[in-house]
Each structure stands twice: as structure tokens, then as C-alpha cells.
Amino acid sequence: MFIQHTSASLVIQENADPAVLRDLATWMAQLAPEDAGAYEHDAEGPDDMPSHLRSAVTRSSESIPIAKGDLVLGTWQAIYVWEHRAAQQSRRLVVHVIGE
């Protein structure tokens, strides 16, 4: 699976406690804050460069095994498209299935 964007990413994370995703978002906002004076690249607004930084420390692709037609994820795992922009965006994923 591959996301065709430089301001969003794919993550496999816990799917049981929503606090995990909130804590990840808080941590990411501290790592790459939206600070209008901090970045040169701001062509699409103050969240433009922070979104690129956030995608640089995450992933644009994931490889997940499939068995009997189902994704083989751990008990608490889920796949998320992590949007790093403030406004809703349209995103495209490419899925390539190999094998059975």
C-alpha cells in the first residue's frame, strides 16, 4: 500500500484506545509545530511545511500480509491514513497485492 502524497502518511497503530491517536497527534505537533515564522516553504499556508516534515518522519508505504482474504494485522492494529494538513484533503492510495 502506498499513499501518493507528501503531506500525509500511512501508519499502523493501536485501534483500541483513541487516546493513542490523540497522543500521537500531540507529539507530532510538538515535533513539527505550525509556526508561521519557522519555515521558508509556506506556499499552501502555515500547515504546508509542517505537513511535509511530519510525513518525512512517518511512512508513505506499508506492506501487510494477507491470509485467506484478510489482512494479517495484530489484535490491536489498524491502518490509518494520517492527514498532516489542517484542512480535509482528497488522498489516493495504490494497493498492490502479491501472491495468493
pLDDT in tens, 29-52: 999 999 988 999 999 989 999 999
Residue, of 3 and 69, whose pLDDT is higher: 3
Q: Which of 63, 59, 49, 51 is nearest to 81 (CA)?
A: 59
Predicted local confidence at residue 19, as pLDDT: 97
Closest to 97 (Cα-Cα) out of 69, 78, 73, 75: 69
Among the listed residues 3, 26, 69, 4, the one whose alpha carbon sits nearest the alpha carbon of residue 12: 3
Domain ranges for the chain, please list them: 2-94
Distance separating alpha carbons of residues 36 and 85, to the nearest angstrom: 14
Q: Does the pLDDT value for residue 99 go beyond 80?
A: no
Beta bridge partners of 21: none
Per residue in 5-35, pLDDT tens? 999 999 999 999 999 999 999 999 999 999 9
The per-residue pLDDT for 17 is: 96
Check pLDDT > 90 for residue 76: yes
Tell me which CATH code domain 2-94 carries: 2.60.120.460
